[in-house]
Amino acid sequence: MTRMKALGLCRWNLLAVWLLATAPASAQTATPAPGVAHDLARARAQLLSNVRYELSLSLPAAKDQPIDGNMVLRFVLADRTRPLVLDFEPDRPQALRLKVNGVPAASDSVNGHLLLPPVLLRRGENEVEIAFTAGDGPLNRSEDQLFTVFVPAQARKAIPCFDQPDLKARWSIALEHPAQWSSLSNGAELDRVVAGDRARVRFAATKPIPTYLVSFVAGALRVETGVRDGRTLRMFHRETDAAKVQRNRDEIFDLHARSLSFMAKYAGIPYPFDKFDFVLLPTFPFPGMEHVGAIAYNADALMLEDSATQKERLWRARLIGHEVAHSWFGNLVTMRWFDDVWTKEVYASFMASKIADPLFPEVRHDLAFFYDNHERAYPIDRSQGTHPIRQPLQNLADAADLYSDLIYAKAPVVMRQLEALMGERAFRDGLRAYLRKHRYANATWDDLVAALASRARFDVRSWSRVWIDEPGRPRIRTELRVADGRLDALRLTEEDPQGGQRHWPQQLRITLICASTQRTLHADVRVAGIDLTRASDGCVPDAVLAGGQGWAYADFQFDERSSRYLAENLPALEDPLTRAVAWSGLWESMLAGRVPPQSLLSTLLAVLRKERDEQVASQLLSDLGTLWWRFLVPEQRHLAAPELETLLMQRLADAPDAPRKSVWFTALHSLAVSADTVDWLHSVWKRDAAVAGLPLTEADETRLARALVRRDVVESKELLDVQIGRIANPDRKSRMTYLRDVLSPDPREREAWFRELADPAKRKPEDWIIDGLAELHHPLRAEVSAALVQPALEMLLDVRRHGGTFFDSDWMASTLHGHGSPAVAEIVHRYLAGLPQDFPPKLRERLLQSSDLLQRAARARSNSPQ
Ligand SMILES: [Zn+2]
């Protein structure tokens, strides 16, 4: 039964009873809009206080059996003249039983809300009891597990509640489930009573928390316990490989403990909640989610392979730091409305750097920061789908639209600038004051600006207006003129790429490359142009990097002289961060069409041959993948393949240890197109040959198997079966078994896999679907799959309607990631041009973002000699 039908039926029944039982309600809230509209939320926040939920759920073993629930909801009400609106929009038919202050009542269900009749409500303390069937959508049920994802406003699709971030409440949760399952929730476990094959677990009442942070997880889970700094930490997981758990567990506990103690010290407030658990789930849809006292992670993000690279280890430390930092930023002090969701994200990431960086003294953190933030934000800010960091939001039903790489990546750059402009101490004191003032409550970005502004010696409000409330980035051009070996002019000009008058105050750290030395100049961009001719102090620069030290944020456009010098001499630059910034500028030139892809490939291969820094090498390889598959046509790839593959083989052989070998080996099987190389890779997979110094794990072999199948090696189907047989872990085995059809060498089978997705019920688990779509549209399959781009776009609205938080954007991104042809660019272009007026604007924006590289690649391909 579909969602709409179920609700329609229930509305009719309930409405009949309601008309008999009560007088007509006063007008204003009789038909609340679908979702959670801002005006409804504002009105409710005025009316309600001291909200407490007592939730009991009975979880059956079978995933399609309904979950019976009971909710006792207590609150203080300021005004009882209007119906009180509760949010509840389940995907299951309901036979609700409702009592308001002990009196059985009917309830009208309108647009995903229950209206509580005013005649039964009281001014002051109220108690509402509801027996209901829980909606399945946000509960992510599978055979032997269930986990909630209530962010941003999904709780209402599972249970009745006031689903808005500024109605914080104390939650007492009890779960009844199969006795062999384990479970966790936000509160500490109070008791667990087993009767027959069922267990009933009660969890302690929480401190006041918003609905999006409420969580419970139950299923076949193992538990590891660690004691750190006198606190017991519990890790729930499903990993069956004992050696993998053993290898990771202590470090995972250490990273959490370190994050907790760092944050307590920085914030000047001890860990603000009662207990600390976390759970690793193989199908969790995001890397992590900061549920109070019960953080959820995607298992792969934390349980690393033996061969994990330095980058992956640092990323894990940052992820843990990020989620733990949310205990203060987000969980203790919560945004009033989701338009400020970026504030909690930026501080979590900002703190994560402070926590994780000192653990990796061998890593260049300024370089890591540049890659994690600038290089992640630029792809959005250079696209036509860019948006300001702070975005307006009318309805929480659309809150998922506010999350993007931009808020995770641009905001930290901007905050680092703010900290530098204010001074570290003043900045920290401002944050402390903000956390103290709003603890266990809500606050807005303006509250934070106020806390910072009183400690700053410049105008934080006007700084915030352009960096936080405006989209895009400034363009900074270098003008460098040298005549007869003498510096004639060195000037920087800031422009508004939209042709307006916007000006972005920021600090520049400019690098001058002068013969054998490198110099840094600091300059604040306060006016649109800076003349540095005198400041260069006798140096005649070969190249100028206005974005030197990865500090400032802009579209930096090189002058001719710098551009030429860097293309030829990049590998010779001593400092890895300078190489990274220089490469980033060359890459932007290629994307903008100023440098042809083939000539950038020559530069790239020359750099890769010599690159010594692991982080820089990883980024170069990632850009190489984009250049290789999207910007070059097959003939160009075949011409360049021998040189590239020899280079990768050489780097693989020379790499000093397994993690570094793994980087080059992965690049090799991702990029190889020559028959000889593919044959050798095949024999490695068959275990007839080995990669010296690199023992392959099960995950490595699975990746390799997938790469081989895409290349249509002989007996691909049998290869897949053997690989599935090699996988011991049941979760990974079922994933690979599921993907078999979309990996098939037969295009008809791949298409049949895709056509099945027309049924929303077949689009689960979303994580697998995204993986499958990326496989379907892999560059090696792109030509055949091009015909499926249009149908995938046509399904977008349906995908959005029925899918989880990021499913629609992931759907687009994985559909388009392998394409670069003018024909597919045209399909997307036409689709965008023909969108109806009422098409969700944020979805259009996302499509512009995810198709940006496709459009650029198509332009480059049209211009390149064929
Ligand atoms: Zn976060």
Confidence of residue 865 (pLDDT cuts 50, 70, 90): low
349 CA distance to ligand 1 centroid (A)? 7
Q: How many helices (H) and strands (E) does the chain have?
A: 31, 29
Residue with tokens 């530098």: 420
268: left (phi over 0), alpha (psi -120 to 50) or beta: left
345 CA distance to ligand 1 centroid (A)? 5
Strand 169-178 to strand 124-133: parallel, antiparallel, or no bridges (unpaired)? unpaired
69 CA distance to ligand 1 centroid (A)? 30
The pLDDT of residue 407 is 85
Residue 102, class by beta-carbon neighbours within 10 Å (0-12 exposed, 13-18 middle, 19+ buried)?
exposed
Tell me how far apart the alpha carbons of residues 555 and 498 are, in angstroms, rounded to a whole number. 13
Tell me how far apart the alpha carbons of residues 537 and 851 are, in angstroms, rounded to a whole number. 45
Mean pLDDT along residues 371-380: 94
Q: Is the pLDDT of residue 202 over 80?
A: yes
Strand 189-195 to strand 198-203: parallel, antiparallel, or no bridges (unpaired)? antiparallel
Which H/E stretch holds residue 658?
Answer: helix 658-671
Cα four-point dihedral sign 271, 275, 281, 285: negative
Q: Is the pLDDT of residue 13 over 60?
A: no
Which neighbouring-strand residues pair with 522? 509
Q: Which residues are CB-neighbours of 622 under 8 A, at least 6 positions away?
A: none
Confidence of residue 1 (pLDDT cuts 50, 70, 90): very low
Residue with tokens 């099945």: 756
The pLDDT of residue 455 is 93
Tell me how far apart the alpha carbons of residues 311 and 298 are, in angstroms, rounded to a whole number. 17
Question: For the stretch 344-378, what's the b/e string if a residue is b when 16 or more beta carbons lie within 10 angstroms of its beta carbon?
Answer: bbbbbbbbbbbbbbebbeebbbebbbbbbbbbbbb
Q: Is the pLDDT of residue 660 over 60?
A: yes
Tell me how far apart the alpha carbons of residues 85 and 162 are, in angstroms, rounded to a whole number. 8
Q: Is the pLDDT of residue 14 over 50?
A: no
284 CA distance to ligand 1 centroid (A)? 14
Give the lowest-confidence range in 349-358, 432-441, 848-857: 349-358
407 CA distance to ligand 1 centroid (A)? 10
The pLDDT of residue 508 is 87
403 CA distance to ligand 1 centroid (A)? 10
346 CA distance to ligand 1 centroid (A)? 8
290 CA distance to ligand 1 centroid (A)? 7
Which H/E stretch holds residue 141?
Answer: strand 141-142
Q: Which residues are CB-neighbours of 549 under 8 A, at least 6 positions away?
A: 366, 509, 511, 520, 577, 581
342 CA distance to ligand 1 centroid (A)? 9
Tell me how far apart the alpha carbons of residues 247 and 304 are, in angstroms, rounded to a whole number. 8
431 CA distance to ligand 1 centroid (A)? 17
338 CA distance to ligand 1 centroid (A)? 13
359 CA distance to ligand 1 centroid (A)? 21
Confidence of residue 676 (pLDDT cuts 50, 70, 90): very high
Tell me how far apart the alpha carbons of residues 421 and 460 are, in angstroms, rounded to a whole number. 10
User: 751-754: long-range contacts at Cβ-Cβ below 8 A with a sequence spacing of 24 or more?
Assistant: 751/788, 754/788, 754/791, 754/792
Question: Angle formed by the axes of helices 766-776 and 747-756, to 10°?
Answer: 150
For residue 87, give Cα distances in angstroms to 6, 127, 278.
16, 16, 28
The pLDDT of residue 29 is 60
Task: Name the DSSP class of 341.
Answer: H
508 CA distance to ligand 1 centroid (A)? 28
Mean pLDDT along residues 820-827: 97
Confidence of residue 538 (pLDDT cuts 50, 70, 90): confident
The pLDDT of residue 539 is 86
C-alpha 219: how far from its chain's center?
A: 25
Mean pLDDT along residues 117-135: 96
Confidence of residue 734 (pLDDT cuts 50, 70, 90): very high
319 CA distance to ligand 1 centroid (A)? 9
Supply the mean pLDDT for the chain. Answer: 92
Alpha-helical regions (H) of 297-374 = 299-302, 310-325, 341-356, 365-369
User: 247-252: long-range contacts at Cβ-Cβ below 8 A with a sequence spacing of 24 or more?
Assistant: 247/304, 247/306, 248/302, 248/303, 248/304, 249/224, 250/226, 252/302, 252/320
Tell me how far apart the alpha carbons of residues 434 and 414 are, in angstroms, rounded to a whole number. 19
Q: Which amino acid is at 399?
A: A
Question: Angle formed by the axes of helices 658-671 and 698-710, to 10°?
Answer: 20
287 CA distance to ligand 1 centroid (A)? 9
Reduce the DSSP state of residue 489 to 3 states and report it: strand
Tell me how far apart the alpha carbons of residues 453 and 445 are, in angstroms, rounded to a whole number. 12
88 CA distance to ligand 1 centroid (A)? 26
611 CA distance to ligand 1 centroid (A)? 33
Rg for the chain, CA atoms, rounded: 28
206 CA distance to ligand 1 centroid (A)? 21
The pLDDT of residue 846 is 93
